[in-house]
Amino acid sequence: MQANMVTAINNALELGMRSDENIVLLGEDIGKDGGVFRVTEGLLDKFGEQRVMDTPLAESGILGASVGMALAGLHPVPEIQFAGFMFLGFGQLVNHAARYRSRTRSSFPVPMVVRTPVSGGIRTLEHHSESPEAYYSHMGGLIVVEPSTPYDAKGLMLRAMKMNDPVVFLEPTKLYRLFKQDIPEDAYEVEIGKADITRKGEALTVISYGTMMPIVKDVVAKKGVDAEIIDLRTINPLDEKTILESAKKTGRVVIVHEASLSFGVGAEVAARIAEKAIFELDAPIVRVASPSLPYPFPGYEKYYLPNAMKISQAIDRVMEA
């Protein structure tokens, strides 16, 4: 089937719900309206309001109720309308969803998949453009995934719905309808914790994920450089093995993400390479990210987001070093 990321996730949710009646969806405007991005469109009609719930407007309530549902044997898939609003429920995720299994020595697992649109580039209002992956990855206990293609989105979602863990499923709004892919109609899974080498190469390694992936691919193609491109897909737990193997092979690494530079995922990836492969590098690691400041208003977005020029220059820098 031809699918963009919206239809791919919608299809995954439908298949998951058909195979497991403990899966319930809840969130703001996800039923009648089908979600503000239409990711849950049609699911209310197919599964009824017991399984597709339009909730009151309260993010902590949604995430807290989801934790309770998970503890009581359901497998909730809450949607938080935008990642910027998810901070209102941050405590429920970090204090409870992330900790429950660990603190109770696995007697209380919390199986749930928290979906939320992330990242910018679509000129939205304030709090609609955040890239929060590092926050959710930092404390441990939450699995954090972020697909960049319809194929991965469907496979990762189907996998996430089968895991007995809390998964934060980040959906880049910019990629929702950017392109279509031919994906299998049936259920299939993409392994969580496994990065995808989307292009084999020898000259350098470019590590990225989410909104930056299409730009990275484009820049590499246009420059004609023999780059190995890695799409992390899962932020936590990090696929360190794939990262290190590639870094050791090429000796040159550029890390690209939309989230701001300081204390970000790029810092984590760079640190791991530095700790375990620094003597096999031929050049300093370069990070490309948004500047270390709050996401600006849409008028300034174009000055904030990493673009092809910035990525291209970073590649030149590691190649010339």
The residues annotated as belonging to the active site are 128
The contact set with other proteins (CB under 8 A) reads 24, 50, 55-56, 58, 60-61, 63-74, 76, 91-92, 95-96, 100-109, 140-141, 143, 163-165, 193, 237-238, 240-241
Tokens for 214, please give them.
């299409």
CB of 245 to other proteins, least distance (A): 13
CB of 105 to other proteins, least distance (A): 5
Please, where are the H alpha helices in the chain? 5-19, 43-47, 59-71, 83-86, 90-91, 100-103, 133-138, 150-160, 173-176, 212-223, 240-250, 265-277, 301-304, 308-320
CB of 273 to other proteins, least distance (A): 13
Give whichever of 88 and 197 is closer to other proteins, judged by the CB atom.
88
Tell me how far CA of residue 11 lies from CA of 38, 39, 146, in angstroms.
12, 9, 17
Give whichever of 70 and 315 is closer to other proteins, judged by the CB atom.
70
CB of 74 to other proteins, least distance (A): 5
Measure the CA–CA gap between 159 and 22, rounded to whole angstroms.
15
Contact 269, 240 (CB under 8 A): no
Give whichever of 140 and 294 is closer to other proteins, judged by the CB atom.
140
Amino acid identity of 282? D
Which residues lie below 8 Å from residue 316, measured CB to CB, with a gap of 6+?
Answer: none
Give whichever of 240 and 301 is closer to other proteins, judged by the CB atom.
240
